[in-house]
C-alpha cells in the first residue's frame, strides 16, 4: 500500500509539474494592481551545499504546492536566505530519510540477515517525514536567535537616536543618522527602509512598522507606534525612546534569566538518569536472588 501510494503521489507530482492549472481570474487581476513589496529581496545567488544542489530540481514542485509557508517565509527574510535553497534542502533531507532504511536492509540482506521489508517501509515513511520537517525546525530556532540579537541591536539603536535628538536633530534625521552609525543586520534593513520611505515621501514610522511586521519583531512595531504618536500628537520623543530602550533591555534580561533557569533544570535530568541507573545496578543482584528463591 505504501509503495502504491508513493508511486501514485509521484505520478501526480509529475503531471502537476508538466501541466500546471491556469491561474484564477481574480488572482491574475490582482497582480495587475499589485504594488511593489518594500521588503528586502532574497539573495539573487543560490547558496547552499551539496544538499541544496541535489534537491534543487524538486524545489520548483514544492514551490507550486505553496511552500514555504508564511512563518517560514518571514524567517527566511530575517536570515537573508533563498526560499529555493531551503526547499531544496528539505527535499534532500526527506529523500535521504526515505532511502536510508531500504539501503540498510539491502546491505543486511546481502550479508544474509535483516529484519525484512515491512519494518523498513514504515521506517522510511517516518524518517522521510522527519527529514522534511527538520530543516524547518532548525530554521525557526536560528530565526528566534536572530530576533533576540535584533532586539539587542534595537536597544543600542534607540540610544543612538536619543543622542542624536539631544544634539538637536529632527526625527527623520536622527533615525537615519543612527542607522548609518550602527552596523547590524537589523540596522542595515532599517537604513534601507528609511531611505525608501524618504524617497517615497512617507513618514518614517511606516517603514519601521512594515519592517517589524515582516520580521515579526513586536518591539519594532511598538517603536513605530511611539514615533507616530510623538510626530502627530507632540509627545516627548527623547523620554519615550529612552524608556523604550530600557524596557527592551529589561525584557531581554528577564528572558536570559528564564533561559538560564531552564538550562539548569535540563542539566539535572542526566544526573537523575545516572542515579537511577546506579540504583538498578546495585539493586539487581538482590532482586534476582529474591525472585530466584521464590
> 178 lies in a domain?
yes
Give the number of other Cβ atoms within 10 Å of residue 23's Cβ: 11
18-44 average pLDDT score: 60
Q: Which class for 268: exposed (0-12), middle (13-18), buried (19 or more C-beta within 10 A)?
A: exposed
Count of domains in the chain?
Answer: 1
Distances (CA, A) of 162 to 28, 157, 171, 177, 238: 47, 9, 10, 11, 6
> 36 lies in a domain?
no
Could you tell me where the beta strands, DSSP code E, fall in 23-76? none
Four-point Cα dihedral 74, 77, 82, 85, nearest 10: -40
> 226 lies in a domain?
yes
> 184 lies in a domain?
yes
Can you give the pLDDT at residue 183? 83
> 258 lies in a domain?
no
In tens, the pLDDT along 68-94 reads: 888 898 888 888 888 999 999 999 999
Can you give the pLDDT at residue 32? 65
- Band of residue 233 on the pLDDT scale cut at 50, 70, 90: low
Residue with cell 536633530: 169
Can you give the pLDDT at residue 135? 92
Q: Which domain holds residue 205?
A: 149-251
> 179 lies in a domain?
yes
Distance of alpha carbon 20 from alpha carbon 23, whole angstroms = 9
> 114 lies in a domain?
no
Q: Which sign does the torsion angle of CA 126, 129, 132, 133 carry?
A: negative
How much of the chain exceeds pLDDT 70, in percent? 89
Can you give the pLDDT at residue 41? 46
**What is the phi-psi region of residue 201: left when phi exceeds 0, alpha when psi lies from -120 to 50, beta otherwise?**
left
- Quote the cell numbers at residue 256: 536570559
> 39 lies in a domain?
no
168-182 average pLDDT score: 87
Residue 133 has pLDDT above 90, yes or no: yes
33-57 average pLDDT score: 62
**What is the phi-psi region of residue 235: left when phi exceeds 0, alpha when psi lies from -120 to 50, beta otherwise?**
beta
Amino acid at each position: 500500500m505504501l509503495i502504491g501510494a508513493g508511486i501514485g503521489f509521484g505520478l501526480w507530482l509529475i503531471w502537476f509539474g508538466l501541466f500546471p492549472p491556469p491561474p484564477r481570474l481574480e488572482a491574475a487581476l490582482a497582480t495587475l494592481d499589485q504594488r511593489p513589496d518594500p521588503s528586502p529581496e532574497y539573495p539573487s545567488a543560490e547558496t547552499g551545499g551539496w544538499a541544496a544542489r541535489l534537491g534543487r530540481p524538486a524545489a520548483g514542485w514544492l514551490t507550486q504546492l505553496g511552500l514555504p509557508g508564511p512563518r517560514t517565509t518571514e524567517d527566511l527574510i530575517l536570515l537573508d536566505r533563498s526560499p529555493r535553497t531551503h526547499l531544496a534542502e528539505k527535499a534532500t533531507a526527506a529523500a535521504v530519510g526515505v532511502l536510508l532504511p531500504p539501503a540498510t536492509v539491502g546491505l543486511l540482506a546481502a550479508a544474509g540477515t535483516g529484519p525484512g521489508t515491512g519494518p523498513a517501509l514504515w521506517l522510511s515513511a517516518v524518517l522521510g517525514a522527519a527529514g522534511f520537517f527538520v530543516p524547518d525546525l532548525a530554521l525557526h530556532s536560528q530565526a528566534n536567535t536572530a530576533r533576540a540579537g535584533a532586539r539587542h541591536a534595537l536597544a543600542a539603536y534607540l540610544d543612538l537616536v536619543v543622542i542624536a535628538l539631544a544634539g538637536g536633530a529632527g526625527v527623520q534625521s536622527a533615525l537615519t543618522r543612527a542607522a548609518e552609525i550602527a552596523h547590524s543586520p537589523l540596522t542595515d534593513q532599517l537604513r534601507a527602509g528609511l531611505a525608501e520611505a524618504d524617497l517615497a515621501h512617507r513618514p518614517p514610522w511606516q517603514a519601521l512598522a512594515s519592517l517589524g511586521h515582516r520580521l515579526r519583531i513586536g518591539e519594532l512595531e511598538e517603536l513605530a507606534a511611539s514615533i507616530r504618536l510623538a510626530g502627530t500628537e507632540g509627545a516627548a520623543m527623547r523620554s519615550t525612546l529612552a524608556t523604550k530602550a530600557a524596557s527592551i533591555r529589561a525584557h531581554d534580561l528577564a528572558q536570559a534569566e528564564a533561559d538560564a533557569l531552564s538550562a539548569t533544570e535540563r542539566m539535572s535530568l542526566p544526573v537523575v538518569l545516572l542515579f537511577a541507573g546506579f540504583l538498578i545496578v546495585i539493586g539487581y543482584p538482590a532482586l534476582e536472588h529474591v525472585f530466584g528463591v521464590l
